[in-house]
Amino acid sequence: MKIAIAQQNYHIGNFEANTAKIIQAIRDARMAGADLAVFSELCVCGYPPRDFLEFEDFIERCINAVQQIAAETGDIGVLIGAPSRNPQPEGKDLFNSAYFLYKGSVQQVIHKTLLPNYDIFDEYRYFEPASEWQTISFKGKKLAVTICEDIWDLVENPLYRSRPMDQLIRQQPDIMINLSASPFDYVHAENRKKVIADNVKAYGIPMIYCNTVGSQTEIVFDGGSVAMDASGTIVAELPYFQEALAFVNWDGTLSADVAGTTPHNAYRNNFSGNTELDPEKNIALIHQALLSGIRDYFGKMGFSKAIVASSGGIDSAVVLALACEALGAANVRALLLPSQFSSDHSVADAVELSRNLNNQYDTIPIRGVFEAYEQALEPVFGGLAFSVAEENLQSRIRGAMVMALSNKFGSILLNTSNKSELSTGYGTLYGDMAGGLGVLGDLYKMQVYALARYINRNETIIPQNILDKAPSAELRPGQKDSDSLPEYEVLDAILYQYIEQRKGPRELDAMGFDKTLVARILKLVNTNEYKRNQFCPIIRVSPKAFGVGRRMPIVGKYLS
């Protein structure tokens, strides 16, 4: 049997484009002599559809698309993902399902059993778990079909009470096939391959694992679909961050059918514990994920042009470089907004950066605007000393300026705040926290530096002075980030343990961190939730990103 693995990039709710893409892959697979074509979880509607699933019209369009795809099958079997209705009045109205299509119709529907309800996932909000399990008989073979999370519970502390494969293996299947929508983070593929290997070892049969690719607002899918034989050997691995159609032959053993599906080692340090922040870890893949996030946000939203407030600092430099690479320099504009506190080298560095990138840049000094604000506010401020109010005022003037250009020229503002700043509230609402998409909001400051070095791996794009100089918001004379925050090496280490590893103050104290400093940092994190709650979507690259995957109360008292 020849099996096609279709790793594709879908657009949530774009039924016409998704259906056309799936049908084209079916035709290509048929032309290549495939017997079976495998697609990813909820490919018909795109993942995650979220509350679109509450609209009857949305479900009806899903089912119509399934029928349209089924009509294309003929002599090739097809496995696609889409919601299906629950005919029973008890329970949720929908299942997350895999449809087996063959000879022009739906032959069988398999429902997902394990519905993740943690981090970015919220599937139990919409779907009923499966309560019965059947293999699919196809060309003399039995296929054990599962959906994403269904294979992820082979751990010491299982999240669920039952596993669908424990039921399916009793029917003596010949192969496991998993339809997945498994999001990227910079350690996830290591875990993913281990999970596939654990299933193969536990059940003694090969697995075809088809993942989706592309970005859906903040969530990035990296592909990396895999075919693994019964011995645990990866015989085919599809590329990361690219659409691909690959083939494997299965005649009792699995083998790759064509070149380009050979296993690769894109992820460094295969399945490590990841208990400490390593700023360099898988930085090449983080780079690809951010490019994917920018490209798909713009492409799927119908945007073409971006604008970046370029300060001559490391964060805006990295965002500007990524934007130019993702969208093309001709579609990216930089706006330099120096004040009387801006250093000459910051302006010069920003200009040099744009010249290196060959993107358009404009310079609008804000001193006169700032002084006009000071004059207007003087009757109310009453001669009070310069404070954070005047610092934030500069940031908000810059936010207003860059948004004016965004509105005038139809460009989308890319935000440059990093995770260290967002964690501690080191940013100005309606100022430097403005934007349509947070590019670096899931990267700690030390990771931003690592990414800058990676961008410069072949040539100097980001001027060396930007990497070498001390970080500063330049909102008052001689200001440095270290005036308000600990050194980033220390800060990032504590933040990583608290946010990603969920370590509390006692555990951090036992790890050797200064107790007073830990209390201060954790208080900053928790009391600034109100700022993050008003922030734009952040491209997710870590196991625990701000946004939909981290839900904290704004008015909570814990550690604040």
Do the annotations mark residue 313 as ligand-binding? yes
CA neighbor of 547 nearest in space, from 438, 454, 446: 438
Annotation marks residue 503 as catalytic: no
CB contact set of 458 (below 8 Å; sequence gap of 6+): none
Which two structure tokens, joined as six digits, stand for 187? 């350690």
Do the annotations mark residue 209 as ligand-binding? no
CB contact set of 71 (below 8 Å; sequence gap of 6+): 104
CA neighbor of 336 nearest in space, from 307, 357, 358, 356: 307
What is the DSSP-derived secondary structure letter of residue 500?
T
Q: Which position among 21, 41, 128, 193 bears the catalytic label?
A: 41
Place of tokens 């059940």: 203
Q: What angle do CA 232, 222, 161 make, to 5 degrees?
A: 60
Which two structure tokens, joined as six digits, stand for 76? 């090739």
By the 8 A CB rule, do 301 and 215 touch?
Answer: no
CB contact set of 401 (below 8 Å; sequence gap of 6+): 335, 337, 364, 366, 369
**What does the chain come to in residues?**
560
400 conformational bin, left if phi > 0, alpha if psi -120 to 50, beta if neither? alpha
Q: Which position among 21, 112, 281, 300 bears the catalytic label?
A: 112
Host H or E run for residue 175: strand 175-179
Do the annotations mark residue 316 as ligand-binding? yes
Do the annotations mark residue 411 as ligand-binding? no
CA neighbor of 412 nearest in space, from 536, 289, 288, 314: 536
Greatest Cα pair distance in the chain? 87
Which two structure tokens, joined as six digits, stand for 373? 């604000």
CA distance 127 to 147: 13
By the 8 A CB rule, do 402 and 436 touch?
Answer: no
Do the annotations mark residue 315 as ligand-binding? yes
Do the annotations mark residue 557 as ligand-binding? no
Do the annotations mark residue 499 as ligand-binding? no
Do the annotations mark residue 416 as ligand-binding? yes
CA distance 178 to 321: 37
By the 8 A CB rule, do 416 and 309 touch?
Answer: yes
Do the annotations mark residue 118 as ligand-binding? yes
Do the annotations mark residue 421 as ligand-binding? yes
Sheet of 234-237, strands arranged across: 136-138, 141-147, 175-179, 207-210, 226-228, 234-237
Annotation marks residue 112 as catalytic: yes
Q: Which position among 148, 210, 324, 536 bears the catalytic label?
A: 148
CA neighbor of 550 nearest in space, from 437, 390, 458, 419: 419
Q: What is the 3-state secondary structure (H, E, C) of 128-188?
A: CCCCCCCCEEECCEEEEEEEHHHHCCCCCCCCCCCCHHHHHHHHCCCEEEEECCCECCCCH
Which two structure tokens, joined as six digits, stand for 137? 């008989």
By the 8 A CB rule, do 99 and 62 touch?
Answer: no
CA neighbor of 431 nearest in space, from 445, 419, 421: 421
Residue 95 — φ and ψ, nearest 5°? -115, 150
Query: Cα 544 to chain center, whole Å?
Result: 10
Residue 205 half-sphere exposure toward CB, CA atoms < 13 A: 24
**Binding-site sequence positions for L-glutamine:** 118, 182
**Binding-site sequence positions for deamido-NAD(+):** 392, 421, 531
**Binding-site sequence positions:** 118, 182, 309-316, 392, 416, 421, 531
Give catalytic residue positions: 41, 112, 148
**Binding-site sequence positions for ATP:** 309-316, 416
